[in-house]
Structure 1
Amino acid sequence: MEVAQLIYRGRGMYTNPETGMEVSGDDKDRRLVMLINDFIIEREDIDPKRLWLRQSSDLLTLLVMLRSTIHTRIKGDAGLNKNRIAFVPVGSVGDEELLRLMSDDVLDFLREAKIFISDSHPQEAKAIVKKAEQLTANIFKHFDLRGQSLEKNAKSYANYQTLQALTKTVSRISSRLLPSLDNDELKIPDNLTCIGPFWIEDWSDRQTEEIFSFEAWKADVKQNSSRLLGSLKEIAESKKFKFPSKLKRPANELYKLLSREQEGFVIESSTRQALKTKNIVIGLPLDYPHFWNEQSEDDMRQQVLQDPQAWRSALGRSLTPQGLIVPVVPHYRTFPWIAVAGRRIFTQLETVFSDRYFMASSELNLLNTILLEDEADNK
């Protein structure tokens, strides 16, 4: 749709700055150059010839759609032979990066495993997948996201003490209605936005990495890890059962990831991967210090968060209705939080709060306004 709107710019009458006369922009020769980025992801489970054929077909479809859109914008018709139709693409603007996280493989495997178990397959094959699903959720539940800011005194509400200082200062009995602006505890950084009961924190200036921790000092963890390796290998390489490629691919990726850690299993191991993106935001409950008490490393007691899946879903909806939300398996050893990487969340917020889009965002939208009949003219 943006391409179609771009073509319209410069049309109609305009004043020539050199002569001061009105001229028509429709009569001016134009040249529009479009660049199409195309790529091929090599996968072992797909025949290269079939992949190239499908890729070529997708590219030809795109070119036909692009030509029809341009033709429709200029002449009102798609210009397709013997077909009087207009081609107007409608949809959201693509704002996702081509970003692959370790969490993607965990999510893909758990999702495809549920689909496989619910479909009609041999019970023995289902048992293998169900066992692998349970072990994956158990082993990959210890997930963390760490961001290192280049700024020395950067504030973050993902830091328990920072948000606790704000809430205590605001809620204490002696606090003033108009507090002093010199109070550093009350200064909310520019990278923070409050939406209802949630904080949204921009981590675009941080060096971020995702971390899966494996507590190898626990005998059951080491034993379950070995079991999972066997199940994943059976799914990825089984000749007895025909597991779908959508299940085999993430199973193979998790097998590689876990086998790498198995080689050096010591007291505690972890897998880390840097997130090479500037589009990463964190979602936090507005006042989590109110219900969560930070624990020291020596404190053996463990707080239990009731219904972590509900927390993850609620926080996820505050940022995006779709796409990858981490952690994939909600098992919080600290306060509840979520993160979204590779999506331009703050760009969407700017659109929501812009007065230029008021008519498009209200119930009485611009289209309805145009179609309203003025009763006064009919009397």
Structure 2
Amino acid sequence: MVVPDPVDDTEEAAPLPRWPDGAATGVGSLPGTDPREAAAAVVGELPLLPFLPELPARGVGADMIGRTAALLVDIAVEVVPSGYRVTARPGGDHRRAVDLLRTDLDALDEACEVARPGWVKVQVAGPWTLAAAVEVHSGHRVLTDHGAVSEFAASLLDGLRVHIAEVAARTGAQVLVQLDEPTLPAVLAGTLPTASGYGTVRSVGRNEAQDALRDLVTGLGVPVVVHCCADRPPVRLLAGIGAAGIGIDATRPVFSGSSALPAALDTLGEVWDSGTPLLLGLVPALDPGRPVTSRDLARPAFDLADRLGFDRSRLATLAVPTTTCGLAGATPTWARRALALSRELGDAFLDPPEES
């Protein structure tokens, strides 16, 4: 009897889509309190990769943590003097966050009716930044309770799936998710203070941090980028989670100019070698108080490509220009200018000069 070869019925997952070359985007936050004005500005200035604006000036529930908490499934939060804390049932603070997010999505939907984008980016706090910012009932950070961290990550995954589906249905666009992890370096280093202020929360191992992020990235089924604008973002860790891109402040000394660290540059080179794009924060988040041009702002990106041995023509594929951080603290005039400059940088990456 001839025994047939075993059939491998496992299917390789189809590659996730990629945003258009030359796309530019923003980090997430904008000044002001008018969601329609913000959405219209974003869709108008960043037509290839607009984002769902965040307007933290509106107060409780409009900030990064409150907004993310509004997406959680079967977990509610309230505001206490020390910040956000888990509560038994949704109250006024939680409902306000949900209502603000719904209003923002209505505004984006309206803006997209004028010019239908092919892509839309949404931003949420990543699991580690969220766990570091929210308290459990005892007043300690969620980060101190391994079980609570897992519950929050699972809840965030479920809520994000619903959010992605709604954004896609209402805008008709491919959704890109941005996980904001500004606190991740402190989580890894164990430098976050405890509730008493007399100690620090235990550090989280790199494998543990990476596994949680990887589970979230792979579980969403859409492209996910991770943004960390800290001084020394853990780029190598983030490169191992299957993300579609990694966002950094490219003007930080560790990456830019004569003080750039060779090890940091080598890590960025490895990311690009793997084909993973970098969201390069190049446009100042605050008005520098002097005239700036996209040519000036593009120089660090061109220098980075030159130092790493990449042809500048590949920047349109390997880099997405953004502001260095959110624009919540900017003036409305500069915020609009910063978005326009980001778009101009995307155009410059499509047709880079041979020399700066």
**Shared fold by TM > 0.5?**
no
Give TM-score, length-normalised by structure 1.
0.21
Give TM-score, length-normalised by structure 2.
0.22
Looking at both structures, which has the greater relative contact order when contacts are Cα pairs under 8 Å and sequence separation is at least 6? Answer: 2
